[in-house]
Amino acid sequence: MEGVTLLYPKGFINAHTVRVFEGEIQKALAQGQFKIVVNCAGLAYIASAGLGAIMGAIEEIRGNGGDLRLANLNDAVRNIFEILGFHHLYRVYPSEVEAITSFGPPAAAGS
Amino acid sequence: MRSPKASLTISIPSETSFLALVREVTKKMAASAGFADGTADRLALAVDEATTNVIEHAYHGSADREIELRIEDRGPEFRVEVVDSGATVDPRAVPRVDLGQYVSERRTGGLGIHLMEKIMDSVTFRRAARRNVCCLVKRKDSAAAR
């Protein structure tokens, strides 16, 4: 299955809301969708619970030839990524379009 | 003469739905203590993480216990104490983050304490009167330097 799954978390991801976010990622994986873009335009902040949810899924995603990439981080979220060094572990793009096209054209997706 | 500084003590149930309130209150107190928006955001996150730790580790997820937050502008520093009456948790037993091992070992614990230590100038834990006290301190001069 080609194509990129888009997730649009809204508000905040902390210990209270992380199950919803985790559920959306797991839903994509269950459908065999391993190319995921998380558009963070509506995300005010993320706590360690949310980062843990990404951490917990990334091995399966990459093991299946996919990746989870992020777009549109606000200053607060980008700052947390930098504090934790997550910007070295995940690819982050200024816009959703750039994040999607970073996966390459569907026909040429061979990596 | 020294002018009085703001302090606020609140009690909340050990319920994750209150984390948003914890965050808002901390952010407003940090702003009124003179911290810039970005720093106030990070301080709010550190207190969110400390409160989450209490819910998950000291109270093992029970939502019907009490957590006390003491937020205090002490002049040169901003201090928040997160107090619970749950099980004694040895924070030194929490494994610290090794980002290199994260991806390969699927480890997701320890991130919260790591964040708290990165954001605050000091994070200490003590047991007093059968309660656990997590004390978070941010110096104003250290924040100004950033």
How many structural domains comprise chain A? 1
The whole domain housing A17 covers: 5-105
SS3 content of chain A, % helix, strand, coil (to 5): 50, 20, 30
What average pLDDT does the structure give for chain B? 88
Give the confidence band of B87 by pLDDT, cuts at 50, 70, 90. Answer: confident
In a domain, B2, yes or no: no
CA distance B26 to B7: 11
> Which structure tokens are listed for A33?
């969708």
Position B1 in a domain: no
**Residue A86 counted as domain residue:** yes
Q: Mean pLDDT over residues B73-77, rounded? A: 96
User: Which residues are within 8 A (CB) of B82 and not within 5 positions of it... i.e. 6 or more apart?
Assistant: B47, B50, B51, B54, B67, B68, B69, B133, B134, B136
For chain B, positions 9-38, list CB contacts with chain A under 8 A: 16-17, 19-20, 23, 38
Is residue A111 one of the residues assigned to a domain? no
Does the pLDDT at position B46 exceed 90? Answer: yes
pTM for this model (two decimals): 0.88
Segments forming the whole domain that contains residue B56: 7-144
State the total domains in chain B: 1
Nearest residue in chain A measured CA to CA from B51: A15
- Which chain B residues are within 8 Å of A49, Cβ to Cβ? 52, 112
pLDDT for B4 equals 80
Assembly ipTM: 0.86
Between chain A and chain B, how many beta carbons pairs sit less than 8 Å apart? 78
pLDDT tens, position by position, A54-75: 999 999 999 999 999 999 999 9
- To the nearest 10 degrees (0 to 180), the angle between helices A75-84 and B111-119 is 110
CA-CA distances (angstroms) from residue B52 to A2, A23, A53, A90, B140? Answer: 38, 20, 15, 25, 25
DSSP label at A103?
Answer: T
- A58 and B38 in contact by Cβ < 8 A? no
CB contact under 8 A, B45 and A47: yes
The CATH number linked to A60 is 3.30.750.24
Residue B113 lies in a domain: yes
Which among B19, B49, B102 has CB closest to A55? B102
- Residue tagged 């026909």 (tokens): A107
Cα–Cα nearest to B115, from A12, A85, A57, A13? A85
- CATH code of the domain covering residue B93: 3.30.565.10
Query: Closest residue of B to A14, CA-based?
Result: B19
